[in-house]
Structure 1
């Protein structure tokens, strides 16, 4: 059975909350199963998703990814319960630790042990969503006496985590309901799927109960070279400019030399050289970029991968609103 087709709302290109709502409405009309919203340094995900929930009827909504350092676990649990209520049960919570560049420089919080903090956050959020009184004694959080004042959501929204390394993905399988993957080639996805299954085994859970959502950067444009150029630039930005995790993920999959070349060139301000280091073969391994016909074929191939439950169409950071609209329509289910 092929994976469901979902969409990441393009926060970089949207001029307003209403524009994001309109994009979600369009995705619903086109048959996408879920609209995910990241939370970075623009509009907060909660306000936007609440607006989308009120403006749509069927499409699922979710955070991908809400950082675990910028809110307390109890507040995240309250937020998940509220978004599940206002969306009539269409919400899915995606959590992740982000990286030290974001957490320490932007939020002023010590990054510490991201895996431990993510695990404790998931534990507490699930306790909050159960409606029971929360008692928790962890390395990061010590809680007692907290309970939702409103009725707990029924059903409770699933809780996913993002992870790029083996231990982070194992954590998803052991403590969460699903895993969000990105910056992966097919062989790398298989390796991480083994980590997810190992985590589920440690939890005495059926690995099939852990949902895998694969995020793919997509540009499906009549101008093929433009599609490939902006996608290549997007990948270079993340490997070269967004901390170590993306670089490590690429290196782990057999591209250590390429990852180092991209990183060193980007850090030296030689952006063109960093972008050029991503050759056509690697571009096509990591992303979907080309004409609408090419892109549809490559996306269908990803949807047939056994390990993938959902494929999420995301967009290059340099894509214009018109290019996002063309890609959204071209890759509609």
Structure 2
């Protein structure tokens, strides 16, 4: 696997103001992290933390996981991606995805309809627009009239598509430069990648991996259970885990959740499931569990660091130490 392996971290970190992230980015690069990836839900937008990283730490590659395809108009999404690609030439990968009915509908007042078709159309639009072409086209889910980027990037960003189930995985393989996986065990990676056989050479596979670096397993599993009820009750993720073969283990949790029994839902999640889907333990144990994703075919494992009692007690010094401990294996 050697030193060519990529090693990612989700930014920004909770509890650290964005203005104080210059030191964080340098610490990540010093520790052997090659990539910083952002998300876009209800924290920071996906692009500001990466723009800061581009300016402050030229050693890092940058990625969005993900920028939703519904919440910006096609032209604005192309402009935003082009600006970051111009800021960090050759270092930026644009990851897009459908996001969720809550983010798109409840929080951004946009109609969440035909997520697969919208994702496909935005991917195709971006491919043309970021190449500097004039786009004048009726797509299935929107029409664009004579759009052309005023500043097309000299190096267009690679386009990654977030995918859970076969249809989207196959679209990523056929038309994107890579795929972004989320909420899966290392043992699930092969199942997902079996659907991407049509991908060309250099196809990247990023995965967001939740990491709770504490040896207090009770604490980690409590946090993990809360995360599982928050995510795996969302229809797209529930369907994903049914497809992965987890119906039986998740059915009691889904039933309790649907009847409004939040406590019962948490109690219905077995430790074994938490341990499969959430990486926890000492920093060394966490690092080797993340390496298992790389061995399974993930080319860009991206840790998402969750709070721990150690980090809350130890502050900035504990975070700096942890970054070093989680750094890329030699």
Question: TM-score under structure 2 normalisation?
Answer: 0.88
Distance of 1:123 and 1:195 partners within structure 2 = 20
Residue 196 (structure 1) aligned with residue 191 (structure 2)? no
Distance of 2:252 and 2:193 partners within structure 1 = 28
Secondary structure at the counterpart of residue 190 of structure 1:
helix
Distance of 1:211 and 1:247 partners within structure 2 = 25
Residue 153 (structure 1) aligned with residue 153 (structure 2)? yes
Assess, with a 3 A threshold, how the Cα gap between structure 1 residues 8 and 148 changes in structure 2: closer, same or farther.
same
The aligned counterpart of 1:294 is: 285
Residue 129 (structure 1) aligned with residue 130 (structure 2)? yes
Shift of 1:186: 4.0
1:9 to 11, 16, 36: 11
Shift of 1:88: 3.5
Could you tell which deviates more after superposition, 245-254 or 222-231? Answer: 222-231
Count of residue pairs the alignment pairs up: 321
Secondary structure at the counterpart of residue 124 of structure 2:
helix
Secondary structure at the counterpart of residue 205 of structure 2:
strand
Assess, with a 3 A threshold, how the Cα gap between structure 1 residues 330 and 279 changes in structure 2: closer, same or farther.
farther
The aligned counterpart of 1:173 is: 173
Is this contact kept in 2: 1:231–1:316, CA < 8 A? Answer: no
Q: Report matched runs for 1:1-333 at 5 Å.
A: 1=1, 3-10=5-12, 13-150=14-151, 152-198=152-198, 200=199, 206=200, 208-240=201-233, 243-268=234-259, 270-305=261-296, 307-316=297-306, 322=315, 327-333=322-328
Shift of 1:230: 2.1
Is this contact kept in 2: 1:220–1:326, CA < 8 A? Answer: no
Distance of 1:272 and 1:25 partners within structure 2 = 42
Distance of 1:211 and 1:91 partners within structure 2 = 13
Question: TM-score under structure 1 normalisation?
Answer: 0.87
Secondary structure at the counterpart of residue 160 of structure 1:
strand
Shift of 1:42: 2.3
Unaligned 5+ segments in structure 2 are none
Assess, with a 3 A threshold, how the Cα gap between structure 1 residues 153 and 161 changes in structure 2: closer, same or farther.
same
Shift of 1:115: 0.8
Is this contact kept in 1: 2:12–2:49, CA < 8 A? Answer: no
Q: Deviations over 1:247-306 (max 9, x none)?
A: 22222222113323223434555444333333232223222111223223322222222x
Assess, with a 3 A threshold, how the Cα gap between structure 1 residues 22 and 68 changes in structure 2: closer, same or farther.
farther
Assess, with a 3 A threshold, how the Cα gap between structure 1 residues 236 and 19 changes in structure 2: closer, same or farther.
farther
Q: Deviations over 1:73-118 (max 9, x none)?
A: 2211111111011123321101001111221111122111111101
Assess, with a 3 A threshold, how the Cα gap between structure 1 residues 183 and 282 changes in structure 2: closer, same or farther.
same
Is this contact kept in 1: 2:189–2:293, CA < 8 A? Answer: no
Distance of 2:15 and 2:88 partners within structure 1 = 22
Is this contact kept in 2: 1:184–1:286, CA < 8 A? Answer: yes
Shift of 1:125: 0.9
Distance of 1:38 and 1:72 partners within structure 2 = 18
